[in-house]
Structure 1
Amino acid sequence: MKAAEVGIMMSDPVGNVRHCFTPLAAYIVDTPEAAMLACVRRKTSPFTIASYLQFGDSFRHPARTCSITLDQLNNITVDPNELEAYFNACAEYRLNGVHSPFWVDWPLADPSVFLMPELLHHWHKEFWDHDLQWCLAVVGAQELDFRFSILQPITGYCYELG
Protein backbone atom coordinates (compact mmCIF):
# COMPACT_ATOMS: atom_id res chain seq x y z
CA MET A 1 0.00 0.00 0.00
CA LYS A 2 1.38 3.41 -0.96
CA ALA A 3 1.31 6.37 1.41
CA ALA A 4 -1.23 8.10 -0.86
CA GLU A 5 -3.62 5.17 -0.39
CA VAL A 6 -3.69 5.50 3.41
CA GLY A 7 -6.18 8.39 3.38
CA ILE A 8 -9.92 7.89 3.68
CA MET A 9 -12.84 9.43 1.79
CA MET A 10 -14.93 11.88 3.85
CA SER A 11 -17.51 14.47 2.96
CA ASP A 12 -17.05 18.09 3.94
CA PRO A 13 -19.85 20.26 5.44
CA VAL A 14 -21.11 21.15 1.97
CA GLY A 15 -21.30 17.49 0.89
CA ASN A 16 -18.23 17.34 -1.34
CA VAL A 17 -16.29 14.10 -0.99
CA ARG A 18 -12.64 14.65 -0.13
CA HIS A 19 -9.64 12.36 0.25
CA CYS A 20 -8.43 12.98 3.84
CA PHE A 21 -5.13 12.07 5.47
CA THR A 22 -5.09 11.89 9.24
CA PRO A 23 -1.70 12.37 10.92
CA LEU A 24 -0.76 10.03 13.73
CA ALA A 25 0.22 12.62 16.33
CA ALA A 26 0.03 10.69 19.61
CA TYR A 27 -0.75 7.19 20.82
CA ILE A 28 -1.00 6.95 24.63
CA VAL A 29 0.48 3.66 25.85
CA ASP A 30 1.94 1.85 28.80
CA THR A 31 5.42 0.35 28.48
CA PRO A 32 4.48 -3.16 27.23
CA GLU A 33 2.10 -1.69 24.64
CA ALA A 34 4.74 0.80 23.50
CA ALA A 35 7.21 -2.05 22.95
CA MET A 36 4.61 -4.00 20.99
CA LEU A 37 3.77 -1.04 18.73
CA ALA A 38 7.44 -0.18 18.18
CA CYS A 39 8.00 -3.86 17.21
CA VAL A 40 10.64 -4.49 19.89
CA ARG A 41 11.02 -7.22 22.46
CA ARG A 42 10.66 -6.83 26.20
CA LYS A 43 13.55 -5.13 27.96
CA THR A 44 14.20 -3.01 24.86
CA SER A 45 13.39 0.67 24.69
CA PRO A 46 10.56 1.51 22.30
CA PHE A 47 11.87 5.10 22.12
CA THR A 48 15.62 4.58 21.65
CA ILE A 49 17.82 1.80 20.30
CA ALA A 50 18.98 0.89 23.82
CA SER A 51 18.46 -2.56 25.29
CA TYR A 52 18.09 -3.29 29.00
CA LEU A 53 21.87 -3.66 29.34
CA GLN A 54 22.26 0.00 28.32
CA PHE A 55 19.39 1.56 30.33
CA GLY A 56 21.77 2.98 32.94
CA ASP A 57 24.05 4.70 30.43
CA SER A 58 24.84 8.34 31.16
CA PHE A 59 23.81 9.49 27.66
CA ARG A 60 20.66 9.25 25.58
CA HIS A 61 20.86 6.61 22.88
CA PRO A 62 19.72 7.52 19.35
CA ALA A 63 15.97 7.49 18.76
CA ARG A 64 14.32 4.32 17.45
CA THR A 65 13.04 5.87 14.25
CA CYS A 66 10.73 4.15 11.81
CA SER A 67 13.56 3.99 9.28
CA ILE A 68 15.79 2.09 11.73
CA THR A 69 13.05 -0.42 12.57
CA LEU A 70 12.01 -0.85 8.93
CA ASP A 71 15.66 -1.28 7.85
CA GLN A 72 16.08 -3.96 10.50
CA LEU A 73 12.90 -5.70 9.31
CA ASN A 74 14.10 -5.51 5.69
CA ASN A 75 17.45 -7.06 6.68
CA ILE A 76 15.66 -10.19 7.89
CA THR A 77 15.59 -12.56 4.92
CA VAL A 78 13.67 -15.37 6.63
CA ASP A 79 10.05 -15.94 5.58
CA PRO A 80 7.71 -14.65 8.37
CA ASN A 81 5.56 -17.77 7.87
CA GLU A 82 8.45 -19.89 9.18
CA LEU A 83 7.77 -18.75 12.72
CA GLU A 84 10.62 -20.27 14.69
CA ALA A 85 13.28 -19.26 12.16
CA TYR A 86 11.74 -15.79 11.77
CA PHE A 87 11.65 -15.16 15.55
CA ASN A 88 15.26 -16.31 15.83
CA ALA A 89 16.23 -13.87 13.05
CA CYS A 90 14.33 -11.08 14.85
CA ALA A 91 16.23 -11.76 18.07
CA GLU A 92 19.42 -10.37 16.52
CA TYR A 93 17.77 -6.93 16.27
CA ARG A 94 15.69 -7.35 19.48
CA LEU A 95 12.51 -7.18 17.39
CA ASN A 96 9.32 -8.88 18.57
CA GLY A 97 8.39 -10.67 15.33
CA VAL A 98 5.85 -8.24 13.86
CA HIS A 99 6.86 -8.19 10.21
CA SER A 100 4.47 -5.47 9.01
CA PRO A 101 3.69 -2.74 11.58
CA PHE A 102 0.39 -0.89 11.13
CA TRP A 103 2.27 2.41 10.78
CA VAL A 104 4.57 1.22 7.99
CA ASP A 105 2.76 3.18 5.25
CA TRP A 106 1.43 5.96 7.44
CA PRO A 107 3.04 9.25 6.33
CA LEU A 108 5.30 10.84 8.95
CA ALA A 109 4.57 8.06 11.49
CA ASP A 110 7.51 7.49 13.78
CA PRO A 111 7.07 5.44 16.99
CA SER A 112 9.78 7.40 18.80
CA VAL A 113 7.63 10.50 18.25
CA PHE A 114 4.00 9.37 18.39
CA LEU A 115 4.23 6.96 21.35
CA MET A 116 3.29 8.85 24.51
CA PRO A 117 3.68 7.23 27.96
CA GLU A 118 0.60 7.10 30.17
CA LEU A 119 1.93 9.55 32.75
CA LEU A 120 0.04 8.68 35.93
CA HIS A 121 1.03 5.03 35.57
CA HIS A 122 4.67 5.92 34.90
CA TRP A 123 4.90 8.41 37.77
CA HIS A 124 3.27 5.96 40.20
CA LYS A 125 5.57 3.16 39.05
CA GLU A 126 8.62 5.45 39.35
CA PHE A 127 7.65 6.43 42.91
CA TRP A 128 6.71 2.91 44.08
CA ASP A 129 9.52 0.95 42.39
CA HIS A 130 12.35 3.39 42.99
CA ASP A 131 11.83 6.34 45.34
CA LEU A 132 9.74 4.60 48.01
CA GLN A 133 11.85 1.42 47.97
CA TRP A 134 15.02 3.51 48.36
CA CYS A 135 13.51 5.40 51.32
CA LEU A 136 12.41 2.14 52.95
CA ALA A 137 15.90 0.69 52.56
CA VAL A 138 17.54 3.81 54.01
CA VAL A 139 15.33 4.64 57.02
CA GLY A 140 13.02 1.61 57.37
CA ALA A 141 9.24 1.33 57.31
CA GLN A 142 8.68 2.34 60.96
CA GLU A 143 10.75 5.54 60.64
CA LEU A 144 9.10 6.45 57.35
CA ASP A 145 5.63 5.99 58.90
CA PHE A 146 6.68 8.16 61.85
CA ARG A 147 7.95 10.94 59.59
CA PHE A 148 4.71 10.96 57.61
CA SER A 149 2.70 11.03 60.87
CA ILE A 150 4.36 14.26 62.09
CA LEU A 151 3.74 16.22 58.88
CA GLN A 152 1.62 19.28 59.50
CA PRO A 153 -1.86 19.03 57.95
CA ILE A 154 -2.41 21.26 54.93
CA THR A 155 -4.69 24.16 55.82
CA GLY A 156 -7.69 24.63 53.55
CA TYR A 157 -8.16 20.97 52.66
CA CYS A 158 -10.36 18.38 54.32
CA TYR A 159 -7.97 16.37 56.47
CA GLU A 160 -8.63 13.33 58.63
CA LEU A 161 -6.23 11.91 61.14
CA GLY A 162 -5.91 8.24 60.35
Structure 2
Amino acid sequence: MPSERWLAELGLSEAVDRLEHRVADGTGREHLIPFAEALQWVYSLHEYHRLTRRDFFARAAADRAGETLRAMVYARGLLTHGMADVTRLTGSRPFRIGVSRLSGGDALDGPGIEVFWADFAALPPGKPEKHGRDALYQKHLSSVPLLDPFGPVLDWLKAQP
Protein backbone atom coordinates (compact mmCIF):
# COMPACT_ATOMS: atom_id res chain seq x y z
CA MET A 1 0.00 0.00 0.00
CA PRO A 2 2.69 2.63 0.82
CA SER A 3 4.12 2.31 -2.69
CA GLU A 4 0.81 3.65 -4.08
CA ARG A 5 0.71 6.77 -1.90
CA TRP A 6 2.62 8.79 -4.51
CA LEU A 7 0.00 7.82 -7.08
CA ALA A 8 -2.84 9.13 -4.93
CA GLU A 9 -0.92 12.37 -4.32
CA LEU A 10 -0.37 12.70 -8.08
CA GLY A 11 -4.06 11.95 -8.70
CA LEU A 12 -5.04 14.74 -6.31
CA SER A 13 -2.59 17.16 -7.89
CA GLU A 14 -3.83 16.41 -11.42
CA ALA A 15 -7.50 16.64 -10.38
CA VAL A 16 -6.79 20.05 -8.82
CA ASP A 17 -5.07 21.16 -12.04
CA ARG A 18 -8.22 20.21 -14.00
CA LEU A 19 -10.35 21.94 -11.38
CA GLU A 20 -8.30 25.14 -11.75
CA HIS A 21 -8.90 25.02 -15.50
CA ARG A 22 -12.67 24.55 -15.08
CA VAL A 23 -12.91 27.35 -12.52
CA ALA A 24 -10.88 29.69 -14.74
CA ASP A 25 -13.07 28.80 -17.73
CA GLY A 26 -16.04 30.01 -15.70
CA THR A 27 -18.70 28.46 -17.91
CA GLY A 28 -20.94 26.91 -15.28
CA ARG A 29 -21.28 23.84 -13.12
CA GLU A 30 -18.76 21.66 -14.97
CA HIS A 31 -16.23 22.32 -12.19
CA LEU A 32 -18.06 19.67 -10.17
CA ILE A 33 -16.49 16.88 -12.27
CA PRO A 34 -12.82 17.46 -11.31
CA PHE A 35 -13.94 18.77 -7.90
CA ALA A 36 -15.58 15.43 -7.03
CA GLU A 37 -12.46 13.61 -8.24
CA ALA A 38 -10.20 15.82 -6.11
CA LEU A 39 -12.36 15.19 -3.04
CA GLN A 40 -12.20 11.45 -3.70
CA TRP A 41 -8.39 11.59 -3.75
CA VAL A 42 -8.48 13.65 -0.54
CA TYR A 43 -10.59 10.93 1.04
CA SER A 44 -8.32 8.14 -0.23
CA LEU A 45 -5.26 9.85 1.25
CA HIS A 46 -7.13 10.54 4.48
CA GLU A 47 -7.98 6.85 4.76
CA TYR A 48 -4.43 5.77 3.92
CA HIS A 49 -2.98 7.93 6.71
CA ARG A 50 -5.76 7.05 9.14
CA LEU A 51 -5.10 3.34 8.67
CA THR A 52 -1.30 3.50 8.69
CA ARG A 53 -0.55 6.14 11.35
CA ARG A 54 -1.74 5.81 14.92
CA ASP A 55 -1.06 9.50 15.49
CA PHE A 56 -2.91 10.68 12.37
CA PHE A 57 -5.79 12.41 14.15
CA ALA A 58 -3.47 14.14 16.64
CA ARG A 59 -1.27 15.33 13.75
CA ALA A 60 -4.32 16.56 11.81
CA ALA A 61 -5.73 18.37 14.85
CA ALA A 62 -2.43 20.18 15.41
CA ASP A 63 -2.37 21.82 11.99
CA ARG A 64 -4.78 24.06 10.08
CA ALA A 65 -4.26 22.08 6.85
CA GLY A 66 -4.86 18.81 8.72
CA GLU A 67 -8.15 20.17 10.05
CA THR A 68 -9.03 21.42 6.56
CA LEU A 69 -8.36 17.94 5.19
CA ARG A 70 -10.91 16.53 7.64
CA ALA A 71 -13.41 19.25 6.64
CA MET A 72 -12.93 18.24 2.99
CA VAL A 73 -13.71 14.64 3.93
CA TYR A 74 -16.99 15.90 5.40
CA ALA A 75 -17.79 17.77 2.17
CA ARG A 76 -16.89 14.70 0.13
CA GLY A 77 -19.40 12.67 2.15
CA LEU A 78 -22.17 15.19 1.45
CA LEU A 79 -21.38 15.15 -2.26
CA THR A 80 -20.89 11.40 -2.58
CA HIS A 81 -23.72 10.12 -0.42
CA GLY A 82 -26.31 12.84 -0.92
CA MET A 83 -25.35 14.49 -4.22
CA ALA A 84 -25.26 17.75 -2.27
CA ASP A 85 -23.58 20.63 -4.08
CA VAL A 86 -21.02 21.98 -1.63
CA THR A 87 -20.02 24.85 -3.92
CA ARG A 88 -21.49 28.26 -4.65
CA LEU A 89 -21.15 30.26 -7.86
CA THR A 90 -21.18 34.05 -7.97
CA GLY A 91 -21.03 36.45 -10.89
CA SER A 92 -22.18 35.95 -14.43
CA ARG A 93 -20.52 34.48 -17.47
CA PRO A 94 -19.33 36.78 -20.21
CA PHE A 95 -21.58 36.52 -23.28
CA ARG A 96 -19.81 34.63 -26.06
CA ILE A 97 -21.15 34.34 -29.60
CA GLY A 98 -21.80 30.74 -30.54
CA VAL A 99 -21.61 29.59 -26.92
CA SER A 100 -23.97 31.74 -24.86
CA ARG A 101 -27.76 31.59 -24.81
CA LEU A 102 -30.00 34.55 -24.09
CA SER A 103 -31.62 32.57 -21.27
CA GLY A 104 -28.35 31.13 -19.92
CA GLY A 105 -27.51 33.77 -17.35
CA ASP A 106 -24.78 35.31 -19.49
CA ALA A 107 -24.24 39.08 -19.49
CA LEU A 108 -22.60 41.37 -22.03
CA ASP A 109 -20.41 42.75 -19.27
CA GLY A 110 -20.21 39.48 -17.32
CA PRO A 111 -17.17 39.53 -15.06
CA GLY A 112 -16.96 35.76 -15.05
CA ILE A 113 -17.95 33.25 -12.45
CA GLU A 114 -16.21 32.77 -9.13
CA VAL A 115 -16.58 29.50 -7.23
CA PHE A 116 -16.62 29.19 -3.46
CA TRP A 117 -17.19 26.44 -0.95
CA ALA A 118 -20.85 26.64 0.04
CA ASP A 119 -21.73 28.57 3.14
CA PHE A 120 -22.20 26.14 6.01
CA ALA A 121 -25.80 27.32 6.54
CA ALA A 122 -26.63 26.33 2.93
CA LEU A 123 -25.55 22.71 3.40
CA PRO A 124 -28.23 20.05 3.86
CA PRO A 125 -29.41 19.88 7.47
CA GLY A 126 -28.55 16.84 9.49
CA LYS A 127 -27.42 15.54 12.82
CA PRO A 128 -24.14 16.90 14.16
CA GLU A 129 -21.33 14.90 12.61
CA LYS A 130 -19.84 12.54 15.21
CA HIS A 131 -16.21 13.40 14.41
CA GLY A 132 -16.68 17.18 14.43
CA ARG A 133 -15.89 17.52 10.73
CA ASP A 134 -18.99 19.69 10.24
CA ALA A 135 -17.54 22.22 12.68
CA LEU A 136 -14.22 22.03 10.81
CA TYR A 137 -16.06 22.70 7.54
CA GLN A 138 -17.67 25.77 9.11
CA LYS A 139 -14.30 26.94 10.46
CA HIS A 140 -12.06 26.30 7.42
CA LEU A 141 -14.16 25.99 4.24
CA SER A 142 -17.46 27.86 4.56
CA SER A 143 -17.55 30.59 1.86
CA VAL A 144 -13.83 30.24 1.07
CA PRO A 145 -12.72 30.45 -2.60
CA LEU A 146 -12.89 26.88 -3.88
CA LEU A 147 -9.25 26.42 -4.88
CA ASP A 148 -7.60 28.04 -1.85
CA PRO A 149 -7.49 25.03 0.52
CA PHE A 150 -6.22 22.42 -1.93
CA GLY A 151 -2.56 23.56 -2.05
CA PRO A 152 -2.01 23.63 1.72
CA VAL A 153 -3.84 20.31 2.17
CA LEU A 154 -1.77 18.59 -0.52
CA ASP A 155 1.45 20.02 0.96
CA TRP A 156 0.40 18.75 4.41
CA LEU A 157 -0.37 15.30 3.07
CA LYS A 158 2.98 15.07 1.27
CA ALA A 159 4.80 16.11 4.46
CA GLN A 160 3.32 13.26 6.48
CA PRO A 161 5.64 10.37 7.32
TM-score w.r.t. structure 1 length? 0.23
TM-score w.r.t. structure 2 length? 0.23
Relative to its length, the structure with more helix (as a share) is 2
